[in-house]
């Protein structure tokens, strides 16, 4: 019963001691440790990728160790780290908005609204699911609606805050895009050059090819035969698949190579100086 808390306490203590020792270490030791850790962490995935797999399971096995299965576990380490850094993110939010309120900067009521909504969401989310995680009594009905007939839309505070407020605000922000697309297009799409003219014509064909009204314009062209290509939906598909598709793939080649190059530089610590310190 006590083993788990003892283990957690021991792990935290070891981590704190290690951090303290690391903090005291000279810069070159820290740099060497960072490079070594980065290399070893990356080496695991390189070995897992390049080692010929077992034909029965398609898993990479080295000295009896199944690296492919271990990769899933190793990947969870990043999720644990992300969990800790989330606390840092919350600290930042509290720090920034607390600073605005303390100094009564312009817009400080918005920061008060942030704290109220943040605390409300935290309190009711934890209260709602406390029994599921930690046991104890059922929450009141106004915190977690237990009625089966309300399963589709529970009548509780959590649902009001999340589905009623947050989801609708999210949809509102998404819907702004429709207006912004129109304003951006109106501002940017000016036919001043030949290329812009080609872009405009192609865009019109593509848009017409997506809607029944556009397709109706070329319905009179036979669906089969040598002129079927000129039906607007056929032309639209041709532009998307034979013209736009290869271009997207070409951009994708460049992006993939860029990612590979950067991954290699980070793995082999060739990016030193970009983020911390200066390259020697």
Partner 1 sequence: MGVVLLGTGLLFLLLGLGAYLWGPHQFRDPKYWSAFLAGRATVGLFSVLILGAILHARQGGPVYVRRIAGLTAIDETVGRATEMGRPITFSLGLSQQLDIIALQALAVCLHVVRLAIRFGTRVIVTMRNATVYAVADEAISEAYTAAGRPESFNRADVRFLSDRQFAYASAAMGTIIREKAASNYMFGEFFAEALILAEAGNQVGAIQVAGTPSTTQVPFFIASCDYTIIGEEFYGATAYLTREPTLCGSLMGQDRCKLVILGCVLIGILVATAAALTGHAGSVAWVKGFAGLFTGAK
Binding site for partner 1 (CB under 8 A): 49-50, 52-53, 55, 78, 81-82, 85-90, 92-93, 95-96, 99, 106-107, 166, 169-170, 173-174, 176-177, 180-181, 183-185, 187-189, 248, 251-255, 257-266, 268, 270-271, 273-279
Q: What whole-number distance in Å separates Cα of residue 110 and Cα of residue 119? A: 14
Q: How far is the CB of 21 from partner 1 (least distance, A)?
A: 19
State the minimum distance, in angstroms, from the CB of residue 9 to partner 1: 24
122 vs 270, beta carbon nearer partner 1:
270
Q: Which pair of tokens denotes residue 16? A: 């704190």
Return the number of other C-beta atoms located less than 10 Å from residue 145's C-beta. Answer: 20
With respect to partner 1, which residue has the nearer C-beta, 121 or 221? Answer: 121
∠ CA 19-25-29, rounded to 5°: 110
Which CB sits closer to partner 1, 211 or 263?
Answer: 263
Helix (H, G, I), strand (E, B) or coil at 221: coil
CA angle 171, 172, 176 (to 5 degrees): 115
State the minimum distance, in angstroms, from the CB of residue 185 to partner 1. 6
Q: Which is nearer to partner 1, 191 or 259 (CB)?
A: 259
Compute the distance between CA of residue 48 and CA of residue 43 in angstroms, rounded to an integer.
Answer: 8
Task: Tell me how far, at minimum, the Cβ of 4 lies from partner 1, in Å.
Answer: 26
Decide: helix, strand or coil at residue 161.
helix
Cα(201)–Cα(18) distance, integer angstroms: 64
CB of 212 closer than 8 Å to CB of 198: no
Which of residues 36 and 82 has its CB atom nearest to partner 1 in the complex?
A: 82
At residue 135, the 3 state secondary structure works out as coil
The distance of closest approach from Cβ of residue 155 to partner 1 in the complex, given in angstroms and rounded to an integer, is 24
Within the chain, strands assigned E span 61-62, 65-66
- Return the C-alpha torsion angle 153, 157, 162, 166, nearest 10: 120
To partner 1, the closest distance from the beta carbon of 128 in angstroms equals 19
Least distance in angstroms from the C-beta of 55 to partner 1 = 5
Which is closer to partner 1, CB of 4 or CB of 275? 275
Residues 6+ apart with CB under 8 A from 42: 263, 266, 267
CB closer to partner 1 out of 107 and 148: 107
């Amino acid at each position: 019963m006590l083993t788990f808390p003892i283990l957690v306490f021991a792990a935290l203590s070891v981590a704190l001691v290690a951090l303290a020792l690391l903090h005291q270490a000279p810069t070159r030791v820290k740099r060497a440790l960072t490079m070594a850790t980065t290399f070893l962490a990356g080496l695991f995935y390189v070995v897992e990728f390049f080692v010929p797999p077992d034909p029965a399971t398609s898993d990479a096995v080295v000295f009896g160790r199944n690296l492919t299965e271990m990769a899933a576990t190793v990947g969870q380490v990043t999720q644990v780290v992300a969990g800790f850094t989330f606390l840092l993110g919350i600290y930042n939010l509290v720090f920034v908005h607390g600073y605005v309120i303390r100094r009564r900067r312009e817009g400080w009521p918005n920061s008060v609204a942030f704290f109220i909504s943040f605390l409300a969401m935290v309190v009711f989310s934890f209260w709602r699911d406390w029994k599921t995680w930690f046991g104890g009594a059922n929450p009141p009905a106004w915190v977690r609606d237990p009625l089966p007939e309300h399963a589709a839309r529970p009548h509780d505070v959590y649902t009001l805050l999340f589905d009623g407020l947050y989801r609708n605000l999210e949809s509102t922000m998404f819907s702004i895009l429709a207006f912004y697309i129109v304003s951006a297009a109106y501002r940017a799409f000016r036919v001043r050059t030949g290329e812009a003219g080609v872009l405009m014509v192609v865009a019109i064909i593509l848009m017409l090819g997506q809607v029944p009204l556009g397709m109706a314009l070329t319905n009179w062209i036979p669906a089969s035969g040598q002129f079927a290509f000129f039906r607007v939906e056929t032309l639209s598909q041709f532009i998307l698949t034979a013209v736009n598709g290869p271009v997207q793939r070409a951009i994708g080649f460049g992006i993939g190579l860029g990612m590979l190059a950067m991954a290699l530089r980070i793995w082999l610590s060739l990016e030193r100086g970009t983020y911390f310190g200066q390259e020697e």
